[in-house]
């Protein structure tokens, strides 16, 4: 290859390198800034093909899509001085590339750190003027809307970013507080159970006392009825005995003596010492019950 051809090829290569280093492309999802010797000379460069001075100029690109970042869990106090562990996240995007670069030096991590600090302060202030019920369920949406509006108004001017949303993913009681709450709930349930048991025992005593009273009444009425029936039976028996005695007095005396003999001599081991001439033994000598001479 001749020297002229080599020089021509080298010149063409240099031209290509110069042209390639002079052209840059900003993606559709990004915006850029142009620096010359570290000094900002052009900001908010739109997507597309652009030119710069090789070596002297430097291009920085920034993602202007919506970005979402989880915030570290923090503990906040409600107006009742009750601690809550809050887990949240923030959705934001770069709105003013010039201000964003001037405020953060183009460092996205620094921007996130500044946003987290402001959200943390905002949540602490909002939780501090509300009750636990309000921040858990009653006014959570209203709280988030007010917080987004307040922080967005501040960071747009300071950082050049727009806060689109701040959401609480979870609100929990600290472990120590949860244990106290569970203990208090257990105590309340045990107290309620004790009240039910006491009420049940009281009702049981009342039912038992009423049953005992009814039992006493029934037994008394039954005893009175039995005594009345027994009295009527004894009266009828007395009348029957009287009629039988008046019909044949001698037979009645003989029957009564036989009954007495049966009861007296029922046990073979008994020994009875009595005069054979006594009135009790009158029917042993004579069936007519005549006394012996």
What CA–CA distance (Å, rounded) separates 52 from 131?
58
Going from the C-alpha of 266 to that of each of 17, 103, 276, the distances in angstroms are 148, 129, 19
Per-residue pLDDT of the chain (293 residues; tens, 9 = 90+): 677 666 666 666 665 566 667 888 889 888 888 888 878 888 888 888 888 888 788 888 888 999 999 988 888 888 888 888 899 999 999 999 989 988 888 888 999 999 999 999 998 988 888 888 888 776 777 888 888 888 988 888 888 999 999 988 888 877 766 677 678 888 888 899 999 999 999 999 999 999 999 999 999 999 999 989 989 898 888 888 777 777 777 777 777 777 777 777 677 776 766 666 666 666 666 655 554 44
What structural domains does the chain harbor? Answer: 15-63 (no CATH), 67-172 (3.30.479.30), 249-285 (no CATH)
What CA–CA distance (Å, rounded) separates 2 from 218?
141
What pLDDT score was predicted for residue 277? 64
- Is 115 in contact with 161 (CB distance < 8 Å)? yes
What pLDDT score was predicted for residue 5? 66
What pLDDT score was predicted for residue 16? 58
- pLDDT for 99-135, tens place per residue? 998 888 888 899 999 999 999 999 898 888 888 888 8
What pLDDT score was predicted for residue 20? 67
What pLDDT score was predicted for residue 140? 77
């Amino acid at each position: 290859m001749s020297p002229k051809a080599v020089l021509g090829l080298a010149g063409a290569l240099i031209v290509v390198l110069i042209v390639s280093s002079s052209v840059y492309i900003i993606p559709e999802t990004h915006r850029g800034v142009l620096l010359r010797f570290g000094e900002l000379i052009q900001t908010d460069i739109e997507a597309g093909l652009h030119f710069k001075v090789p070596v002297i100029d430097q291009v920085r690109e920034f993602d202007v899509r919506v970005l979402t970042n989880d915030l570290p869990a923090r503990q906040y106090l409600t107006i009742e001085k009750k601690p809550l562990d809050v887990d949240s996240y923030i959705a934001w995007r770069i709105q003013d590339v010039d201000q964003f670069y001037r405020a953060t030096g183009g460092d996205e991590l620094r921007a996130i750190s500044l946003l987290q600090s402001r959200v943390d302060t905002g949540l602490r202030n909002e939780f501090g003027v509300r009750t636990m019920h309000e921040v858990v369920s009653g006014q959570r949406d209203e709280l988030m809307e007010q917080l987004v509006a307040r922080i967005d108004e501040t960071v747009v001017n300071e950082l050049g970013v727009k806060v689109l949303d701040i959401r609480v993913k979870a609100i929990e009681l600290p472990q120590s507080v949860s244990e106290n709450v569970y203990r208090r709930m257990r105590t309340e349930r045990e107290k309620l159970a004790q009240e039910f048991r006491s009420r049940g025992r009281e009702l049981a005593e009342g039912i038992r006392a009423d049953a005992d009273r009814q039992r006493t009444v029934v037994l008394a009425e039954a005893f009175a009825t039995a005594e009345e029936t027994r009295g009527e039976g004894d009266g009828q028996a007395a009348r029957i005995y009287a009629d039988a005695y008046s019909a044949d007095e001698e037979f009645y005396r003989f029957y009564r003596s036989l009954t007495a003999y049966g009861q007296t001599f029922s046990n073979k081991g008994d020994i009875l010492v009595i005069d054979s001439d006594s009135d009790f033994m009158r029917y042993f000598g004579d069936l007519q019950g005549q006394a012996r001479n």
